[in-house]
Structure 1
């Protein structure tokens, strides 16, 4: 099963694509970020995120997707723009016929690090270890997206979701 994990943002959206093999081992297929330029309007940024994600979906044909849920932030305008980016990600996955799950940060930390209040560094170290990588994936948004994908793979075993 191929899973795409997404960490939404309007300037930088992280993505991580993992393959779960029959023996339940995980293989990194691809990871990185979808970037939009500061010179773009909000509408142009959202269109760019949509197009970049669609290109990834065509390239990798994931069976399932997972997106990090928005958590309340003090900066309301940031929360709104991240929410708009999330909407575009959900739309693109849905239009591609890819089942989508959503996880909040605490669920992701629990699934990856075993502790819902783990700090960012602990989660990144566990991503590195669980995926057998030599280094922590960079940038942070890509590591976060891989954590979302790991969370989805681990969670679907318990919840019987795709």
Structure 2
């Protein structure tokens, strides 16, 4: 137990000494840097800040575009799922003369086409109109999903 305490004490002293040496080194390094022409270091710092601002703006732009592209991909998957259901239902409906089912399918296709039009528009959205267009597409997606769900409930299992 005594050996452990002694070893820990020695380690602590070693760390303290290393820290003091490092801070003395840093202080003398800072003093040397202060003696360098401040105008060139100021210009370098300003250039670095400008580069960072441009880089940050580029990163923000890329982040926004990535968000849009991810959103569009997700919505395209929704569209594909609904298209597959429509194709399946249409093949099962061939030869059946059910006016209500045909009207339901017609309504579903209209909502689907409206959704696709908005989806195509949002792919060319800018950062300024992104939020508005996303909200419009979200609203269209809810309408499409609601119509799809209603058709599935009414005819999906029987067709």
Instruction: Give the TM-score of the pair, scaled to structure 2.
Output: 0.21
Larger strand share, 1 or 2:
1
Instruction: Give the TM-score of the pair, scaled to structure 1.
Output: 0.21
Structure having greater relative contact order (Cα 8 Å, sep ≥ 6): 1
Larger Rg: 2
